[in-house]
Every structure is written in structure tokens, then in C-alpha cells.
Amino acid sequence: MTSIDRQMRRGQRGFIITMCSEETFRDQYVVLGVIGRGSCAQVILAVHRLTGILVALKVLSKVAGIFETIETEVELMKCVQHCNVVQLFQVIETMDYMCLVMEVALGGQILWHIPRDRSLEEQEARRAFRQVVCALHYCHEQGVVHRDLKVENILLDKAGNVKLCDFGLGNRFRAGQKLSRACGTPEYCAPELYNGEEYNGPAVDAWSLGVTLFYMLAGRLPFDGKTVPELAEILDASCEMPAHVSAEAQSLIRQLLTVDPAERAMLPQVLEHPWLCQEQKHSPGHPRQPLPNLPNPTVLGMMTEDI
């Protein structure tokens, strides 16, 4: 590849992009392996040679039609600074790729910790779910809707704390604003998305929370459809609750999996639900001030200086 002269430029929405050649980029990072793949991206575990900082690199191909989506994801991640959201450190651009340098969650997807056709213990599920709700509530307060909440997008750090990731389908919204783009993972999509209606973004996230909690407590999805038409039958919203799930947990799931979005439990209500408040300790909430970037800004400066 022809080398791109090193430069710094500010993207259209205000974030900093470091331009470099692929060769220069590879000189700065040691790739340890691929830890995730998607249709247009792969996530790589890497270490910065100079500082020894371990990072996750989300590498996205700059194919036609997705560059604006990449910019949107970066914009949203830059404005969401929360202890239970994966932090974005830097964006590096080469001729063919955009690379998001992010905080690494060594515990992997929470999905990996849920035995198939079994479940997490309710106490364990409650702790993780509370952190997911706190992170998502904070996002909504910042005017950001996720629109692809699922167990695959909930990561754990080495201490077992939740790190919400993948804002590729996220969007900005204002109070009372309706969104129109139907997107997300079909098994987690709210009924109003199948109707082709304009919808309330936070209400769609709330439905996905219900599917996620069901999965945590049952080890399976609540609706059995394999195709979009089959899944559209969730308009009936009838799912069989596992017998071992407590009555209070079932109550919360039903409030989230309410077909009418106007009647669906929203996140402030969820945070006050008796099941979620059981055995509550001083778990991380949603900070009023942005958290400092990690690693230390001095270290981050060393990471970017040579690129």
C-alpha cells in the first residue's frame, strides 16, 4: 500500500482521527489474535509495543455505504463515558480501514458464562443486569439509544463487571422524538419494529433488555422463531417462563416484554423494581461527570506519538 503521510485531522463530528499507513500502524501494535468477527469488522486483541497497554482493536473495512455508520459509532462512543461502557481511546485510519482502539474486556461476552439451556444464578444475573441497566440508562440520559442490545454485546472485564459495547446501530434522539429505521438483531427486536411503525428508541432498548434478562435466567431466547415472519408473531408476546425463575424476576421480564410500548416498563422504573433492588450494594451508577479516559492521558499520548 502507498504510505499515507502522517497527519492529524478532525472528523466532521469533532473526533480526532490519526492517519497512518498500515505498515506504520503494525509497527506500533503487536497483534495477539482475533477475538471477534462481524459482517464488516473484526475485533483484535493487541498490545502497544511502547507502553505495553493491552487493547481491543475493532477493524472496520471502509467499504461503500458503511463509512457514515462508522462515524456515527465513533461519535456515540466519544460522548458516552461510563464505567460499564467500553471506552474508546483513539481512532486510526488507513487507506482501506478504520480502526477503533478500545478498552479490552478480558472476561469476554457474558454469553460465554451462561450454560446452554441453563441459566445464571439469580444473584449473579441481578448484579450483571443492574450494571447493564445503569449503563443503558446513562446512554438514554445522554440522548443515545443503542438499538442492538443482546448478550453478545455485553462484555465482562477481568473483575466480572459489565462493559456494554457495539454502538454501530446506535443513534441520537431527543425527548419525544420518534425514530424510523428498523434495525437490530431479530430475536431481540420489539414488536413495533416488525410493524414498520415509527418508534420510541428507549422503549425498543427496554424490550431488548427483557429478552436479555430472560436469556440470562433461562439460558435460551424467549421466542422460538427462526425467520423474521415467525418472529413477528411476538405481537402476541406469549413466552413460557421457566419454573425456576422467581416470581419477582418474572414480573420484571413481563413488564419489559409488554407489546404496547406506552405500557412497557422504562429504565427509571426498571431501576426501582423490587427484583433489581434486592441485595443492592453500592454498585456503579451513572456518573454525572464523564469518567477520565483510560489509559492515563500521558500514556495515551505515548501511544499516539509514534503513529
Q: Which residues are catalytic?
A: 148
3-class DSSP state of 120? coil
Task: Count other Cβ atoms within 10 Å, centred on residue 230.
Answer: 12
DSSP one-letter string for 18-33: EE--HHHHHHHEEEEE
With beta carbons less than 8 A apart as the criterion, state whether 30 and 53 touch.
no
Short-list 200, 196, 194, 138, CA closest to 167: 138
Short-list 236, 256, 253, CA closest to 245: 253
Who's near 55: CB < 8 A, 6+ residues apart? Answer: 29, 45, 46, 47, 48, 89, 101, 102, 103, 104
Short-list 112, 116, 95, 114, CA closest to 35: 112
